[in-house]
């Protein structure tokens, strides 16, 4: 196994990963990453409209990626409403252009699984490790 290959996943249902982000380019980028890295082990859904996304969220979401800065409904509101619809805070990752200190101030430890800066390479690497862990779980 090459260093960049994801860990093997035991046979189980595909993981449901949902992205709520108003950037279609960001969604396309993550769609390609999930397809290349995990193939059929992940069902990836992307919503640019956070209100529409909320109608599709429930306890069957394995990982929810939420952009903090969106028009109409910000990421904090989406995360709160997702929790009300049954998504565990341990399955929510907030993504943003803000620096890590600001993100940790807005989302203290335990409020979500992780906060990730969209542009910092080290944080993207850490996020891939989180994804590998989520996809590995039975």
Please give the domain boundaries of the chain with CATH numbers for all domains: 15-136 (3.40.50.2300)
Residue 28 is predicted with a pLDDT of: 95
What CA–CA distance (Å, rounded) separates 60 from 17? 10
What CA–CA distance (Å, rounded) separates 49 from 22? 7
Global pTM?
Answer: 0.85
- Tokens standing for residue 111: 């409020």
Residue 71 is predicted with a pLDDT of: 86
Tens-digit pLDDT profile for residues 81-115: 999 999 999 999 999 988 878 888 888 888 899 88
Residue 8 is predicted with a pLDDT of: 47
- Tokens standing for residue 48: 């640019």
Tens-digit pLDDT profile for residues 57-85: 999 999 999 999 998 899 999 999 999 99
CB-based contact 84:75 (threshold 8 Å): no
**β-bridge partners, 92:** 64
The model's confidence at residue 10, banded by pLDDT at 50, 70 and 90, is: very low
């Amino acid at each position: 196994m090459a260093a960049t290959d994801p860990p093997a996943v035991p046979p189980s249902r595909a993981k449901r990963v949902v992205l709520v982000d108003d950037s279609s380019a960001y969604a396309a980028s993550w769609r390609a990453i999930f397809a290349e890295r995990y193939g059929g082990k992940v069902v990836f859904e992307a919503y640019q409209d956070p209100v529409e996304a909320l109608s599709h969220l429930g306890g069957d979401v394995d990982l929810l990626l939420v952009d903090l800065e969106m028009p109409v409904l910000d990421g904090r509101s989406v995360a709160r409403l997702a929790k009300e619809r049954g998504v565990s805070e341990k399955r929510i990752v907030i993504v943003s252009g803000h620096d890590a200190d600001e993100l940790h101030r807005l989302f203290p430890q335990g409020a979500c699984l992780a906060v990730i800066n969209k542009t910092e390479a080290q944080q993207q690497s850490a996020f891939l490790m989180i994804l590998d862990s989520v996809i590995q779980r039975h």
